[in-house]
Amino acid sequence: MSKRQFNNILITGGSGFIGANFIHYLFKQEFQGNVINIDKLTYAGNPENLKDIEKKSKYFFYQADICDYDKCKDIILKHNIDCVVHFAAESHVDRSIHGPKDFIYTNIIGTFNLLEICRNLWKDKDNTLFHHISTDEVFGSLGDSGYFFENTPYDPRSPYSASKASSDHLVSAYFHTYELPVTISNCSNNYGAYQFPEKLIPLMILNLQEGENLPVYGDGKNIRDWLYVEDHCSGIYSIIQNGNVGETYNIGGENEWENIKLVNKMCSIMDELFPDNSPHNKLITYVKDRPGHDRRYAINCNKIKDELGWKQSVDFETGLRKTINWYLSNTNWINNIKSGTYKNWLQKNYESR
């Protein structure tokens, strides 16, 4: 199978957790083209995530909102973009429950804008691709058994997952209606470096480090399938190089954990690292469950394995320890997020551009 080659890849949301990791991955793979990152730089988009990439000659950054059609169109035209990898999204379920409006605008209208721009600019171009990053949450909730497949009916339960489901359908519709070359991937829960500490694993690491309570929703028996972020990035790269246009691919960790067992696992690792504070599981605190909390997610990813030869490369024990060590070793990154220093840095460096 001959691989697709691109000259100018646009990453939307490239200063966020997975987007930043994907940009790091591209440079590790010695991608020969240009990498253009547009990010609105909301609370979860942190320029420090790419501090060691900024000075590379093939990297370009623009502070831009994907809901700003004209600005995005200008950037895509200026850099002659031939591949879009679309990460930009509001992504936290709790925030979507308390304030769904931003999720509707960014995840639906923003995706529509990008699709329209590409549809109009790529009419006479060959070798283009719009790759859309989605989530397993669009499929709803599983019982004690079974898995999400690429053809599993959508059944979103939160404003976040409903907005992502809508964007997935839009992307698919642009393929069927306008023959826009697209691919879609639905991933399971990611973990690793650069994740904003509102999500389970980094939140628990920070609270463990500071001796604060570890809040666990409900009975703690909700199950998630955990995927190391670099394995997710390698899956995306496989799809944009070799994935069949118009197809959806699931990227999963095949690594299910009850939330409470995962938190206890993290406590045991911290017991090893900081025995004087043991046992860390004394900090576990059960809190009221959130509305519409899906019970179990689990992804079948045989399609990407069989068709594209992808597989996970990092086992959970290794990935979890690497993640914990990264957060413990990057106190400046954490302190800047807590203090808002990077917001001030943002104003000084980017808002005048």
**The tokens of 230 are what?**
């670099």
pLDDT of residue 96: 83
Whole-prediction pTM value? 0.93
What is the H or E stretch that residue 10 is in?
Answer: strand 8-12
301 DSSP 8-state letter: -
Q: Which position has the higher pLDDT, 224 or 339?
A: 224
The string of pLDDT tens digits covering residues 171-193 is: 999 999 999 999 999 999 999 99
Closest CA to 129 of 52, 50, 273, 237: 237
Structural domains of the chain ordered from first start:
8-196+226-256+294-315 (3.40.50.720)
Query: Cα(66)–Cα(71) distance, rounded to whole angstroms?
Result: 8
pLDDT of residue 292: 75
Asked if residues 119 and 89 have their Cβ atoms less than 8 Å apart, the reply is: no
Residue 183 forms beta bridges with which residues? 131
Closest CA to 12 of 105, 106, 78, 77: 106
**Section 238-262 average pLDDT:** 97
Q: Are strands 59-63 and 34-39 parallel, antiparallel or unpaired?
A: parallel
Average pLDDT value for the chain: 93
Asked if residues 47 and 119 have their Cβ atoms less than 8 Å apart, the reply is: no
pLDDT of residue 196: 87
pLDDT of residue 353: 34
Give catalytic residues, as residue numbers. Answer: 136-137, 160
For the cut 70, the answer to whether the pLDDT of residue 350 exceeds it is: no
